[in-house]
Structure 1
Amino acid sequence: MWSSSTPRVYRSWVRIQNKFRGWKGRKEFMLIWQKIVKIQVRKNYRKVVWSVGIVEKVILRWRRKGRGLRGFQPEKQLEGPSWQIQPAKAEAEDEYDFLKDGRKQATGRLDRALARVRSMNQYPEARDQYRRLQACAMQDRMLADSAGTDGGDFMTELEELCRDDGDAPMSTIS
C-alpha cells in the first residue's frame, strides 16, 4: 500500500486514523493532531526565527541586494532622466558599503530628531511640557543621589568604627 519513500510519520498517522471508523472519531483525531502540531511548532519557534534571521543576513552580505537587514534601506539609484542612469557595478563597490549607508541613515535619523527638538522651541505649550519633563527628571536624579549618599555615609561610618576598634589595645576589650 505505501512505498518506502512515504515518510514514517504519515504511514503511522494513516494507520491510527484507520482505527477510527466513524467520521466523528476521525474528526476528534484530526483536532488532537492539529493541537499537537501547534505545540511542537511553538516549542521550536525561537530557533526557527533565529535561524531565519541568520540566513537572511548571510544572503544579504553575499549578494548585497534589496532590503532585509532590519532598518537598512539601500539608496535609490534611479535619479535623473533615464538616459543618464548608469548601472551600479557590484565589483567596484566596497565590501562593507551597506555599513556606510547604515551610518548615513543613522545620522539622518539623528538630524531629524534634532530638528524636532528645535521646532519644539517655537511653541509655548511644547516649551512648558519640556520644562515639566526636565523638572521631573531633575527630581528623580536628586532623589537617587540622596538615597545613594545615605548608603555611602553608612558605609563610611562603619569603616571608621572598624578602624577605631582595630587601634584599641587588647586589655580594654576584655
Structure 2
Amino acid sequence: MRLLLAHVRMVEATLDDLSPAGVHAARNALLELTMGVLTRKTDGAEPLFAPALAQAAQDLANMHLADPELSPVMLARELNVSVRTLQRAFAATSESVTAYIRRQRLEQARHALITPHGRPSISELAAHLQFADSSHFIRTFKEFYGQTPAQYARSHGRTATP
C-alpha cells in the first residue's frame, strides 16, 4: 500500500511534466499497483512496472526514429525515469534500449527500400535514420538482414540508388 501511495504522490507531483507516453506508463503502473494491493500480490521492488515502462518507451522511440536526439537518455528523460530503470525495464524484453532503436530504424529503412514511389537513396536513408554514414548503415543493414540495402531493394523488385 505504501508503494501505491508513493506512486500516486509521485505522479501527482510530476503530472504536468510528463509526456503523453509518460502519462500512459504512469497510468499502467498505477493500475498494476492497485491490482497488487487488491489481490495482495505485490512485488515490493517494481510490481509489473517494467512491461508498461518498456512499452511506453518503445512507443515514444517509434515516434522519434528520425530524431538525432533519440537515445536511452532522451527516452528516460521524457518518461521521468532514470536510464538504469529504463534499462531494467528492457531487460525483460531480451533486447536493450539501443538495440530496439536500431532494429526499428532498420525496419523503417527496409520498408522505405521497397516503397514503389519516392524512395530515398541509401545515403538519404542513412542520414534520415541517424546512422553515422552510409557505410555504417550498409554494414548494419547487412548484419541484420543478410543483404546490403541495394541487394535487398533489388531482390524485392526495386533498384537502389547509392
Q: Mark yes or no: TM-score above 0.5.
A: no
Higher alpha-carbon Rg: 1
Where relative contact order (Cα < 8 A, 6+ residues apart) is larger, the structure is 2
Coarse TM-score class (shorter-chain normalised): under 0.3
Question: TM-score, length-normalised on structure 2?
Answer: 0.27
Question: TM-score, length-normalised on structure 1?
Answer: 0.26
